[in-house]
Structure 1
Amino acid sequence: MSDSKPRSNRPPSTPKAALDALLAEPAGGPIRRALWLDELDRRLNPHLPHPLAAHARLANFDNGRLVFVVDTPVWRAKLRLAAPELLNAARSIGLDATELVVKTTTAPLAAATQPIRKATPLSAAAQQALQAALASLKDPES
């Protein structure tokens, strides 16, 4: 039998991926900038002293100024003490960083507010139920 769909010489159109559509000009500029700043934050964060890293986040980089946000004045002082190492780390990844600006926010940073959940062990009854469910999937006759 013949196919009832009309055939066309044009290739089928494919929808743009959601991220590609978001990054399209001109609206994509701020999104690209935010993604770039997030990547910079991920690259600079390991150069911060361990307890400070959870309380500081890169907010901006403009005209040689690294702008960080911290959640309390204590972390602001500690970050200012770490400024030389942080500026050197920024230069090592290709930024022309000459100054560090630290601002304090009144709200806690997102990284500090999301505790890491630890897995809880299954109870004996839950383990038995899981094993029974897995066994029923292996044996199609049950």
Structure 2
Amino acid sequence: KPCMHGWGRRYLMVNPYGNVLPCQTASAIPSLHFDNVRQQTLRWIWTTSEAFRRFRGTDWMPEPCQSCPRREIDFGGCRCQAFLLTGDETNTDPVCGLSPHHQQLVAFTECVQSDRTDGGEAATLESWTQGISFRANPTHT
């Protein structure tokens, strides 16, 4: 899916502290430094800052994104989602069916759905990278 029409292509946001981000969730990625409008101009941040340039375009993409005919349409999916679901923002977005991480997401979804319909315990699936645990509350509607 095209997240924000591609990282740093059309949108930006300034948080209450003055940090400029390509989306509201990008601050969840700890490896990126987001420049502040109090120290840099908005133009400089948009065109020059490492955080905005890091995932712009298609050069950064791993396979299968790099050879995918949709790479100029979805721009590799959501970097924040990739980070939050795999622990690495450079991984392919697990929501994409071509991602090597997609099956783990499908398995987790099936586990959650099974627990919700069977009235079982909260579903837990260990992440395939950094020991991230996905947890769902089966009583949540």
TM-score interval w.r.t. the shorter chain?
under 0.3
Length-normalised TM-score, structure 2: 0.22
Bigger share in strand? 1
Length-normalised TM-score, structure 1: 0.22
Larger Cα-atom Rg: 1
Bigger share in helix? 1
